[in-house]
Amino acid sequence: MAGCTLTGALSVACFIPGAVTVVHAPKGCAHQTFSMLHAMMNEAEKKVIPEILVSGLSDKDVIFGGEDCLRLALDRAAAKDPELIIVVTSCVPETIGDDCLAVCREHAFADRTIYIPTSGFLGGSAKDGENAALIGLSALAKPAEPVPGTVGIIGEKNMESEVEENFAEVSRLLNLLGLTVSVRFCRNADVAELRKLGTASCFILRDGRCADAGRELGKSFNRPVIPESPRGLSGSIKFLHETGKAAGVSSEKIEEAIIQETEHQKKMLEKFADLAGREVCLGVEPFEGTLAVAKEALKRLEMTESPAGITVRLPFYLPVGVSGTVKMLHLWRRAILHG
């Protein structure tokens, strides 16, 4: 998702069940952002409308200060008796100098309120907003002893495509290591689940987009951090090695998992033996990392890349593990054999 920090923070924060998100901003800022979210919700077939309230800063508030406006918005949110109130801001409160943190701390629902300093475009891009939200929401979890055999996944998007397919693939690989996911932070996770973050033995980032949050969370909870989901075939082997080591899995178990995964990849690629020797043109890379995954698949299947070959499209998402690669190969086969 593109846009300012407000957009990015809302994409993370406003889908937490049992929470109300307060946007301290003029109505136009909230409307613009929510319109983008609504369009993406339709695409993702998401049926739940997020609970968002806007303070609705007016011209008068901009001149004389908008803190009272925020207080009233917090009162409206508190009247719903939510488990959590999340406060995010646009450029305007930052520009006029509203002390939003102080207002949140003084409110009667302060113990259920988290303030995420986003500041719209003054705070950076949507990516910065996503990271700010992940870091801010991590305050819900307290430091705890790690539960052996558990991992936490950080930064899955609430409305991204392929998210559940990617989760299934990551879970399959973790299962080879004897590991399970204890928390998906913050993928449709309620407050109780978010509080479990500190019990995971290591953290796995969705991708480099949430690297800033990964660094902060790793430092706060003293946990090793895996930088991204497995990219393609060789990425799965690397993922098994790095995650197993980070989670304290024995070297014997890691080696066994790698052997199993290598055999699994071989069997899956055998289904595409009819593509061997084919010439294809990969074209433009729509998403960083897909080209490397595609070139590896070509090599493993003994296919050839040539400008004169049949054009096959690279996916507009990063192929995660074997399942992502196999889906890409099915699309290639359709283009090669059936035009």
Residue 93's alpha-carbon distances to 7, 101, 131, 281, 317, in angstroms, are 16, 11, 20, 51, 36
From the list 163, 145, 147, the residue with the least C-alpha distance to 155 is: 163
Average pLDDT, the chain: 93
For residue 102, the model assigns a pLDDT of 98
From the list 99, 33, 25, 90, the residue with the least C-alpha distance to 61 is: 25
**Which secondary-structure segment (H or E) carries 24?**
strand 19-24
Assign 95 to helix, strand or coil.
helix
Pick the residue with more confidence: 45 or 279?
279
For residue 43, the model assigns a pLDDT of 64
Biggest CA pair distance of the chain:
72
- Per-residue pLDDT band at 42 (split at 50, 70, 90): low
For residue 188, the model assigns a pLDDT of 84
Pick the residue with more confidence: 222 or 39?
222
Please, are residues 213 and 155 in contact by the beta-carbon 8 Å criterion? yes
Domains of the chain: 5-140 (3.40.50.1980), 150-268 (3.40.50.1980), 272-338 (no CATH)
Give the separation between CA 153 and CA 160, rounded to whole angstroms.
15
Please, are residues 236 and 184 in contact by the beta-carbon 8 Å criterion? no
Residue 48's alpha-carbon distances to 74, 100, 158, in angstroms, are 22, 28, 12
pLDDT-wise least confident of 13-17, 196-200, 263-267: 13-17
Q: What is the pLDDT of residues 52-108, one digit of tens each?
A: 999 999 999 999 999 999 999 999 999 999 999 999 999 999 999 999 999 999 999
Quickly count: other Cβ atoms within 10 Å of residue 153's Cβ: 23
